[in-house]
Amino acid sequence: MSGIIGESSNLRPDVWFNWNSIRCESAQPTPTHSGTFFDETLRDGLQAPNIRNPTLEQKLTIVDHMVRSGVRSADLGFPGSDSAAERECMEIARHISANGYELTQGYAGRTHPADIHAICEIAQTVGVAVDAYLFIGVSPIRQYVEDWDSASIRRNIIQSAAECRREGVEFVLVLEDTVRCTPEVLTGVYDAAIETGVRRITLCDTVGAALPSGTRSLIHWSQQYFADRGHPIGFEWHGHNDRGLALANSLTALAMGCERVHGTILGIGERTGNASLDQLMVNSHLDGHATYDLKALRDYCAYAAPVLGVDIPQNYPAMGRDVFKTSAGVHGAAILKAHEKGDVLVKDSVYSSVPASFLGREQEVMIDASSGVNNVKYWLTVHGYEKDDASLIKKVLAKAKTSSAPLADELIRQIIATAE
């Protein structure tokens, strides 16, 4: 727990519990990376005041982009929130079914009969299998604020499991704020899950409090708890980015064997957002754990950004406007030499860990005040000009040294035309 917070409060210590304080030295299993990613864009991603709620047509197009990118499971909405949301979720389910998409459909709700009924209505009306992602807060701090107790939490879990079983939908138990939930409370929650035959549990870093070490400890302890009792369970991970660690925590969860790791496109979501789905997919693809269509993923990001009302920062990993640009002389020289060797992957990798060609892009060598001769030579080469004209190179560099920004292609062409 946090010593500073704990010492400044009169509340009982478990209110400030955090799995970052637990060290499981044996929590070093061989990484499996066998899980998949669960797209939360159309549910948790929209729970933010700065995110625009798409139209139904736009949501259907987002689903199309999910599938083309290689997403195989998604949370597609909160049908119990109101009748309009239920109708939209119904249409999304029909769209997926009509197109024959191999996309496991999840819908979110509280452990409340009305929410469960709304999810079950989708399954029964459209005739599709759905997962009911039913969430309940479990951490001591949440219990304290809400005046809940562990007994009522267990009752809700048992009743929700029974209701889902009657309606024929898969119950996924979503434990809000698991990262700050004590082993003592989790013991009761997990026992209720075993009693009711729960097969899937989502561990949540709801406020982005986890460190990778805390993520590892929580998952390891939870896996061991069910293994010791002979109850097979599939774990999922849902992380937020308040401390800037959502990507690292989610990759840790994937390595620890979580079957589904949640994220949103471009990391959208409340406060600082969720784990970035696109960054998770890029990393998984590059590390050889799964295969995704990164060009389709780029299209997904490009479509989603304006629809959701967000900008893609120019230095955003893999997708940003400037991530494959360089103007430093030493970098330009290396990229020119790699280009002359005729190997695209070598050129893509000499000064980048993400190959531009995987995303349908190219290395861009800019010419500015920090550039050297080889930057100009590279530009001339890729644009079909003679690269060894020393007088022309000198003129281009002279202009660059007096400019406050990289030279635009059109300006370089004007310099060439003037020189001729």
Give Cβ neighbours of residue 354 (< 8 Å, ≥ 6 apart): 282, 286, 317, 318, 323
Banded pLDDT at 397 (limits 50, 70, 90): very high
> What is the distance, to the nearest Å, from the Cα of residue 38 to the centroid of all Cα atoms in its chain?
8
Give Cβ neighbours of residue 94 (< 8 Å, ≥ 6 apart): 126
CA distance 356 to 319: 10
Q: Does residue 394 register a pLDDT over 50? A: yes
Q: Does residue 9 register a pLDDT over 70? A: no
Amino acid at 199: R
What is the set of domains in the chain, with CATH numbers? 3-308 (3.20.20.70), 325-419 (no CATH)
3-state DSSP call for residue 68? Answer: helix
For 141-174, how does the pLDDT look when each residue is reduced to its tens digit (9 = 90+)? 999 999 999 999 999 999 999 999 999 999 999 9
Q: Does residue 93 register a pLDDT over 90? A: yes
Q: What is the pLDDT of residue 66?
A: 98
Q: Does residue 26 register a pLDDT over 70? A: no
pTM metric for this prediction = 0.91
Kindly state the tokens that stand for 351: 């000064």
Q: Does residue 327 register a pLDDT over 70? A: yes
- Contact of 362 with 323, CB cutoff 8 Å: no
When pLDDT is averaged across residues 255-261 and rounded to a whole number, the result is 96
Q: Does residue 398 register a pLDDT over 70? A: yes
Q: What is the pLDDT of residue 1?
A: 41
Q: Does residue 5 register a pLDDT over 60? A: no
Q: What is the pLDDT of residue 4?
A: 45
